[in-house]
């Protein structure tokens, strides 16, 4: 991805969307305790430029699946490939520079915002000028005020920290960006701005996004593909135009009601 200003675009389909970047083949993940499985026989492809969103009830395995894609967890069986190479054969540091995960809990590791943004590039030993340029590019693009740069984690709200860790991930120029509930603490204006930026990146810079998100109305306007998980199994893999949204909404409401009943 270039550090040039982001170009606007109204397109919804990435011109390289037919180009395979990741493939998940018959992946299962056993629970660490007992004989249950968190994920069972999951297979899907991720195309370059996809905005793929994983949805499903609580406990469906959404975050577990996301963590497999950059080897924060290891599947019990099955295979995952990045650009036709098994991710197990890619050095872990190299993999996590290409496939970057932004976890739900935003952490700055005790650093000031400016330090946290620059840190991944310092580890890569990039020139100071390039580091400053990338930090400023993404600070500006995501609307992060300059006065935040001197603040630490305790001086930021959860929503503010979410913006910072997303900027930190984008600064790394990944091929695939994994996002776990990235907008849960953001207001609607910030969410729309972020989604517009991410859309531009998938269309103009060959970034691919895999996101876990429970906010269906927002997902519907952002994603081009949806994976629906339930009880660790892949139930739906469809484009947003093919998916029966009313049926999915009903399934989620039923699952939530069942979960509430179990707590009574």
The CB-side HSE value for 173 (13 A sphere, CA atoms) comes to: 14
- Looking at residue 18, its pLDDT comes to 52
* CA angle 112–117–122, rounded 5-degree value: 105
Whether the per-residue pLDDT at 236 is higher than 80: the answer is: yes
Is residue 34 very low, low, confident or very high in pLDDT (cuts 50, 70, 90)?
confident
pLDDT mean over 246-260: 88
Q: Is 249 helix (H, G, I), strand (E, B) or coil?
A: helix
Whether the per-residue pLDDT at 262 is higher than 80: the answer is: no
- Looking at residue 264, its pLDDT comes to 61
Work out whether strand 99-102 and strand 77-82 pair parallel, antiparallel, or are unpaired.
unpaired
Where is average pLDDT lowest: 3-7, 82-86, 148-152? 3-7
CA distance 37 to 247: 26
- Looking at residue 35, its pLDDT comes to 75
Is residue 17 very low, low, confident or very high in pLDDT (cuts 50, 70, 90)?
very low
CA distance 216 to 107: 26
DSSP class per residue in 109-131? TT--HHHHHHHHHHHTT--HHHH
- Of 146, 177, 184, give the one whose Cα is nearest residue 52: 177
Query: What is the helix (H) or strand (E) element at residue 5, kind and residue range?
Result: none
pLDDT mean over 123-146: 95
| Higher per-residue confidence, 5 vs 130 | 130
- Looking at residue 16, its pLDDT comes to 40
pLDDT mean over 224-237: 96
CA distance 112 to 148: 9
Whether the per-residue pLDDT at 256 is higher than 50: the answer is: yes
Structure tokens of 238?
């469809």
Asked if 122 and 79 touch (Cβ cutoff 8 Å), the reply is: no
Domain architecture of the chain: domains with CATH: 20-105+174-262 (3.40.50.300)
Q: Is 254 helix (H, G, I), strand (E, B) or coil?
A: helix
Whether the per-residue pLDDT at 187 is higher than 50: the answer is: yes
Quick: pLDDT tens for 66-121.
Answer: 999 999 999 999 999 999 999 999 999 999 999 999 998 889 989 999 999 999 99
In the chain, the percentage of residues whose pLDDT exceeds 70 is: 92
Q: Is 24 helix (H, G, I), strand (E, B) or coil?
A: strand
- Looking at residue 205, its pLDDT comes to 61
Q: Where are the alpha helices (DSSP H) in the chain?
A: 62-68, 92-98, 113-123, 128-141, 158-171, 188-204, 216-222, 245-262
Quick: pLDDT tens for 208-220.
Answer: 999 999 889 899 9
CA distance 226 to 52: 6
Whether the per-residue pLDDT at 1 is higher than 70: the answer is: no
CA distance 127 to 189: 35
């Amino acid at each position: 991805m270039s550090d040039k200003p982001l170009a606007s675009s109204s397109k919804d389909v990435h011109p390289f969307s037919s180009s395979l970047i990741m493939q998940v083949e018959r992946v299962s993940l056993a629970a660490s305790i007992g004989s249950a499985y968190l994920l069972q026989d999951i297979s899907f492809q991720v195309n370059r430029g996809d905005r793929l969103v994983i949805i499903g009830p609580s406990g469906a395995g959404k975050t577990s699946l996301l963590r497999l894609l950059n080897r924060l967890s290891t599947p019990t069986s099955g295979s995952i490939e990045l650009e036709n190479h098994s991710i197990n054969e890619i050095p872990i540091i190299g993999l996590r520079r290409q496939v970057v995960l932004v976890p739900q809990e935003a952490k700055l590791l005790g650093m000031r915002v400016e330090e946290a943004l620059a840190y991944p590039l310092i580890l890569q030993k990039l020139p100071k000028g390039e580091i400053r340029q990338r930090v400023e590019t993404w600070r500006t693009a995501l609307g992060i005020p300059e006065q935040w740069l001197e603040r630490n984690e305790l001086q930021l709200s959860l929503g503010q920290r979410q913006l910072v860790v997303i900027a930190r991930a984008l600064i790394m120029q990944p091929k695939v960006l994994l996002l776990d509930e990235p907008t849960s603490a953001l207001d609607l204006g910030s969410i729309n701005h972020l989604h517009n930026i991410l859309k531009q990146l998938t269309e103009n810079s060959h970034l691919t996004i895999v996101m876990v998100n429970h906010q269906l109305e927002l997902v519907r306007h952002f994603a081009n593909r949806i994976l629906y998980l339930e009880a660790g199994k892949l139930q739906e893999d469809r484009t947003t135009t093919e998916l029966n949204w009313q049926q999915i909404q009903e399934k989620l409401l039923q699952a939530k009601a069942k979960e509430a009943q179990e707590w009574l």
